Amino acid sequence: MEYINFLKDFRDVNALNQQINREIAKKHDLLLIEVNILAFLHNNPFCDTASEIVQYRGLSKGNVSSAVSSLEKKGLVNIVSDPFDKRMKRIKILPASDVIVKDIDKGLATLMSVLTEDMSSNDIEALVDNLAKIGRNARTFMEKG
């Protein structure tokens, strides 16, 4: 197996996703990181804190903080205190983001369509299963330290 190509393929998939998100950012006069944060919040409704965005997206704390603040000023998100832990701040997408979120959904559909263009439903199912295994293996290895 050619491991370099394997890693390059992951990089190419991410690059295509970022290209699609850059087009959305340009259309809505947003920064790429702002679109990425809106996409993350939309696709992960139970991960709605800045620390979760930092952890799962691999972005810096400072960049996330600045982008969330900008999104709040633009009226696209609201930052609210957690009802059980007032120290925790939750980021909620506001209805003003609906048009952007629809474009994010369309972008994701385009991404998936491009990536699976010549694949059967069985191929796609096997891919999803194998990617889940790869992710589990990576997490398990990292947890062992």
Domain definitions of the chain by residue range: 3-144
What residue type is 116 in one-letter code? Answer: T
**CATH of region 3-144:** 1.10.10.10
What is the per-residue pLDDT for 17? 95
Collect contacts of 23-32 with beta carbons under 8 A, ≥24 apart.
23/107, 24/100, 24/103, 24/104, 24/107, 27/103, 28/99, 28/100, 28/103, 30/74, 30/100, 31/67, 31/70
Name the pTM for this structure.
0.89
Average pLDDT on 3-25 reads: 93
| Span 23-77, pLDDT tens digits | 999 999 999 999 999 999 999 999 999 999 999 998 999 999 999 999 999 999 9
Answer yes or no: is pLDDT of 1 > 70. no
Mean pLDDT of 109-134: 96
Q: If you average pLDDT over every residue of the chain, what do you get?
A: 94
CA angle 22, 26, 31 (to 5 degrees): 70
